[in-house]
Amino acid sequence: MADDRPVPLDEYPVHQVPLSMKHVATGDRNAYDRCIFHVLDHDGRALLILGLGVYPNAGVIDAYATLRTGDTLHAVRASDALGDDRMRLAVGPLRIEVEEPLRRFRLTCADDALSCDLVWAAGFPALWEPHHLQRRGDRLTLEGRRFVQAGGVSGVIRAGGEEFRVDPDGWTGTRDRSWGVRPIPGEEGGRLAEENPTEGFHWVWCPVRFEDRFLMVITQEDADGYRTLNDATLVRPGDRDRQLGWPRTEIAYRSGTRHPERAAVHLGDPRTPQELEVEILTSSPLAVGAGYPPADDWQHGTWQGRGWVDRRTYDLTAPHPRAAYGVTDHSARFRLDGQVGHGIFEHGSFGRHDPSGFTGFDSVAP
């Protein structure tokens, strides 16, 4: 019999529906609530990605940390049964402490394979991203509310015999916080999946920290280029957020792949055009180590049993075929209006995408 007693969070006036905070307001198995942090150095030597997610209707909490250095990716993943204390963001050796909401966080991974102890401090106010909706036929398969932020990071990272001393002058932090409904593995798609196959998907998610401003660009397009998600917003403390129109991205791909080597994002309007230059520093495919689809060794929200911890080391010079059909996070150097900034150029392109000249899932750049 289920234990339906109040949980600690029920003491606070944060309820949105007449339910205990132990429950979400939907019975959808794909309900989720999670975060992702990026920590990158400005020379491309290292890219740390750390995240934690809660899947209330699957009864799962899980977390991961990956670190790319050179051509090696170190990964630690952990999963457990979801408990009643939703304020405790910890699973296995991974922990996120909210020291000051929207401002300051402590990120730790206490594992011999990969360890870190970092303070992530916001440099700019958090920015809402567009409400994200996705359907397959008539069924709503994804509905997410998200915000994004950038700042500085300090502390230490260790893996593979290397140690990185992290400081805000030479490192940048970005983060994304989201919740709602998002597919997790284990569900049969049925008729709607069969009759509405995915023809193509093209995605850019790009938070950039400059010294005095923060820029966020996000686009999602279908196979024919129809845009289902679109935003370009410039944040300057003390000023009203400025919208920069309909971003248009030109990407130079490595021959024989869909791996971006550089890009230009055209912003603004025809009267005041601006160009964001993107120089890729290093890359971390989220389907390798971090548990994003279509990973074949572990995916978020899947039940692994109590107290599961897994450690992997990946050689990124070896083929990882599934990575080509997932999203990759690229740490990057950006230039805009004579200023240099740093952040993440997250990109995924698979299947047909007419604006890029890709004709199907096996189509690559010449």
**Tens of pLDDT along 127-141?**
999 999 999 999 999
The greatest distance separating any two alpha carbons of the chain, rounded to the nearest whole angstrom, comes to 65
In this structure, the dihedral spanned by the alpha carbons of residues 50, 343, 132 and 188, taken in order and rounded to 10 degrees, is -40
Tell me what pLDDT residue 238 has. 87
Average predicted confidence (pLDDT) for the chain: 95
Tell me what pLDDT residue 285 has. 98
SS3 132: strand
Which band of pLDDT confidence, cut at 50, 70 and 90, is reported for residue 3? low
- Residue 89 is given by DSSP the state E
Global confidence as pTM? 0.96
4: pLDDT strictly greater than 80: no
Residue 294: cis peptide before it, omega within 30 degrees of 0: yes
Dihedral pair phi/psi, residue 198, rounded to 5°: -75, 120
One-letter amino acid for residue 261 of the chain: E
What are the tens digits of pLDDT across the range 166-192?
999 999 999 999 999 999 998 878 898
70: pLDDT strictly greater than 60: yes
**Structural domains in the chain plus CATH codes:** 32-181+198-356 (2.40.370.10)
149: pLDDT strictly greater than 70: yes
